[in-house]
Amino acid sequence: MSADYTQADLFFKIRKISRYIRLYGLSRTLAKVRGQYHTKATADFDGPRWVNPKCKDPDAANRCVAIIGCGNYSFSNIAYYLAKHDPGFLRAACDIQKSRALSLCKAYGGGYAVTNWKEIVGDPRVKLVFIASNHASHAEYAVSCIQAGKHVHIEKPHVVTQEQLDLLLAAMKQYPQSKVFLGFNRPRSRLFRELQGVLARESGPLMINWFIAGHEISDDHWYFDVKEGGRVLGNLSHWTDLTLHLVTLGKAFPCTIVPATPAGAKSDFMVSVIFADQSCASITFSAKGPTFEGVREVLNLHKGNVLANITDFQYLTFDAIEKKTKLRLRRRDHGHEANIVHSMVGSEDEGGGEAISYVEATARFFLAIRQAVDSGEKVVLS
């Protein structure tokens, strides 16, 4: 999800691109720009399927990836990083909008474009499916792909209801040969991995504080459709998942979730969590206006002898008693590339895929937080 900058004035566009080149580099910025115009594509195709006449060797063994949901994120993140790893990766692109399926398929040299996701499920040459459609559809597509013996990478959130979670877990247990990967990218970012290494040497509970400034979106945005899970599932799940990685599953539950959300608020909320090991977390999400540099996020954390801070996944500082360490990346690294490529590589490895316990725990956690925010009442998750 990102704002539409194609209608901005030229001076704004130049400033935006210049800033992003400094933050992400030229190639990544160009992918983001192309992604903006990709969502504006209007060309489509006749019939249910478009076969790319320029696709080189469409039946090649390595051309085994399909993407369901061809929005901006798929274009400028998923397909971009997969193409860096293997330019001939894409077999099929699927979207309910023909123009988007066609645009992504052409841009990345895919074999064909379709609007019916069941064609992806029925294609025996598709081995790995990236699911980045609207949130309420993720679980249905994933379960069908798993039952067909395919590996899946499910963008967040992987479910929007407990019923969907039950179906996904049942499919994972029944078809263990199908590997499941989740789209929570930040745990694979360089600075977060560095921080986890530092914290592993400390003992005791954590004090965690997240502040996130997200994109401002209009009240009629599809994120706010009741069945899609709102911004808790659509956005905040990134940081609820990160918090579980910090506390670790074995020390997290049962936990108590206390919301502090203004009445009627759709995008501005706070939640506090007390975990089983007495770790405490406060997560604040604000979307009161535009964020020129994209999502802004700050973590402040204290565990044992360590005080740590991550800012925008570009800066990490931590104090361990008298020793202060500062790390600065040349470019922001939210872990997108590492996570997306991990799913491709992991689908080919014997031991790849997420543990069922993790898939369940992170979902139950963000579903409970949504319940607390929506109801305005404390929730205890056992």
Model confidence pLDDT, tens digit, residues 193-237:
999 999 999 999 999 999 999 888 887 887 888 789 889 999 999
pLDDT band per the 50, 70, 90 thresholds, residue 56: confident
Number of domains the chain is built from: 2
Q: Encode pLDDT of 252-269 as tens digits.
A: 999 999 999 887 778 899
pLDDT band per the 50, 70, 90 thresholds, residue 7: low
344 within domain boundaries: no
The model's pTM is: 0.94
Q: Encode pLDDT of 231-242 as tens digits.
A: 999 999 999 999
Report percent pLDDT > 90 for the chain: 79
Whether pLDDT at 279 is above 90: yes
On whether both 204 and 175 belong to a single domain, the answer is: no
60 within domain boundaries: yes
pLDDT on residue 157? 97
pLDDT on residue 4? 65
Whether pLDDT at 2 is above 60: no
350 within domain boundaries: no
Distances (CA, A) of 150 to 65, 82, 298: 10, 18, 37
Mean pLDDT on 288-310 = 92
Q: Directed axis angle between helix 26-38 and helix 98-107, to 10°? A: 150
pLDDT band per the 50, 70, 90 thresholds, residue 3: low
On whether both 167 and 145 belong to a single domain, the answer is: yes
On whether both 265 and 245 belong to a single domain, the answer is: yes
On whether both 269 and 366 belong to a single domain, the answer is: yes
Mean pLDDT on 106-126 = 97
Q: Report the chain's terminal Cα–Cα distance, integer Å.
A: 32
* Mean pLDDT, the chain, integer: 93
17 within domain boundaries: yes
pLDDT on residue 219? 79
Q: Encode pLDDT of 164-180 as tens digits.
A: 999 999 999 999 999 99
On whether both 101 and 167 belong to a single domain, the answer is: yes
Identify the CATH number of the domain in which residue 23 sits: 3.40.50.720
145 within domain boundaries: yes
Which of 182, 197, 221 finishes a domain?
182
On whether both 84 and 191 belong to a single domain, the answer is: no
Residues 201, 190: Cα–Cα separation, whole Å: 18
Whether pLDDT at 293 is above 70: yes
On whether both 178 and 190 belong to a single domain, the answer is: no
On whether both 372 and 263 belong to a single domain, the answer is: yes
Which of 129, 153, 182 finishes a domain?
182
Asked if residues 209 and 300 have their Cβ atoms less than 8 Å apart, the reply is yes
Q: Encode pLDDT of 335-351 as tens digits.
A: 999 999 999 999 988 77
pLDDT band per the 50, 70, 90 thresholds, residue 162: very high
Mean pLDDT on 287-313 = 92
347 within domain boundaries: no
pLDDT on residue 121? 98
Which residue range forms the structural domain that includes residue 330? Answer: 186-334+356-381
On whether both 266 and 168 belong to a single domain, the answer is: no
Which of 130, 156, 182 finishes a domain?
182
Whether pLDDT at 69 is above 60: yes
On whether both 167 and 201 belong to a single domain, the answer is: no
pLDDT band per the 50, 70, 90 thresholds, residue 104: very high
159 within domain boundaries: yes
pLDDT on residue 5? 67
Identify the CATH number of the domain in which residue 231 sits: 3.30.360.10
Residues 268, 288: Cα–Cα separation, whole Å: 8
On whether both 126 and 161 belong to a single domain, the answer is: yes
Which tokens belong to 125?
């040459």
Mean pLDDT on 118-126 = 98
Whether pLDDT at 294 is above 90: no
pLDDT on residue 45? 94
369 within domain boundaries: yes
On whether both 65 and 117 belong to a single domain, the answer is: yes
pLDDT on residue 38? 95
Distances (CA, A) of 174 to 177, 226, 354: 9, 30, 15
pLDDT on residue 352? 84
Residues 364, 159: Cα–Cα separation, whole Å: 10
Least confident range from 36-40, 145-149, 280-284: namely: 36-40
Cβ atoms within 10 Å, residue 291? 16
